[in-house]
């Protein structure tokens, strides 16, 4: 009998390509369960409750936090986001591979509440490449870009807190390496 799967957490700086890697991986391996976060932000067009997010009110979020029902939570751009604990534990109990795609703050909180979790850092091929991705289409104001770059520097400095680093030179390669780390073949 193989050991119970560990929770795998994928994190890294904004703009590094986390969601692209996860989307590619799940297209090939839909059995990898990606935790759906709860959020207080309003749904964007096309988003459905329970699919992209669980959309909750501020009061509902307060309750989830107070009752310890979130593995981690954070505030970002005026909205709160959190990972429901019960669904994650349920899937792990059933032996399903579980992936969380969350920010640095969330990864640190998961490490505290579930020290056995496997933390994977997704790094850019280079600082210049990350700058290119973050400045992107040039539609954002210079101060917004500057804030993102400052945050990315802080996030990159946390790499040593993670168990493994994957460098995002190719979405296909990183997805394959992540699946191998999760023992999904």
Domain membership flag for residue 57: yes
pTM for the full model? 0.86
The verdict on residue 18 lying in a domain is yes
Calpha distance 64→67 (Å, rounded): 5
Query: Residue 112 maps to which CATH number?
Result: 3.40.50.300
CA angle 8, 50, 21 (to 5 degrees): 40
- Looking at residue 147, what is its pLDDT? 86
What tokens were used for 99?
């992936």
Question: Is 82 annotated as ligand-binding?
Answer: no
Separation of alpha carbons 5 and 25, rounded Å = 17
Q: Is 35 annotated as a binding residue?
A: no
pLDDT at site 7: 94
Task: Give the number of domains in the chain.
Answer: 1
CA distance 118 to 167: 17
63 is in an annotated binding site: no
50 assigned binding-site residue: no
**C-alpha span between 61 and 55 (Å, rounded):** 9
Query: What does the pLDDT read at residue 185?
Result: 67
Mean pLDDT, each 10-residue run in order, the chain (185 residues): 75 90 91 92 90 94 96 88 93 92 91 93 94 78 85 93 96 94 84
Residue 97 assigned as binding residue: no
Assigned domain for 1 exists:
no
Give residue 142's pLDDT: 84
Beta strands per DSSP E along 85-126: 98-101, 118-123
Q: Is residue 2 part of a domain?
A: no
Residue 18 marked ligand-binding = yes
Domain of residue 165 covers: 7-181
Is 125 marked within a binding site?
no
Within 10 Å of residue 118's Cβ, how many Cβ atoms?
Answer: 17
């Amino acid at each position: 009998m193989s050991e119970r799967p560990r929770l795998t957490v994928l994190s890294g700086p904004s703009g590094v390509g986390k969601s692209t890697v996860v989307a590619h991986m799940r297209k090939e391996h839909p059995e990898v369960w990606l935790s759906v976060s709860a959020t207080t932000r309003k749904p964007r067009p096309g988003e459905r409750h329970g699919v992209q997010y669980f959309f909750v009110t501020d009061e509902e979020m307060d309750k989830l936090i107070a009752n310890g029902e979130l593995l981690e939570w954070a505030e970002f751009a005026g909205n709160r986001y959190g990972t429901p604990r019960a669904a994650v534990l349920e899937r792990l109990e059933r032996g399903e591979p579980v992936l969380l795609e969350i920010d640095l703050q969330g990864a640190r909180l998961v490490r505290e509440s579930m020290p056995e979790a496997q933390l994977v850092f997704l790094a850019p091929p280079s600082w210049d490449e990350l700058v290119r991705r973050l400045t992107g289409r040039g539609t954002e104001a210079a101060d917004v870009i500057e804030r993102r770059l400052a945050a990315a520097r802080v996030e990159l400095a946390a790499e040593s807190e993670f168990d493994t680093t994957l460098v995002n030179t190719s979405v296909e390669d990183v997805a394959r390496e992540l699946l191998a780390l999760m023992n999904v073949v």
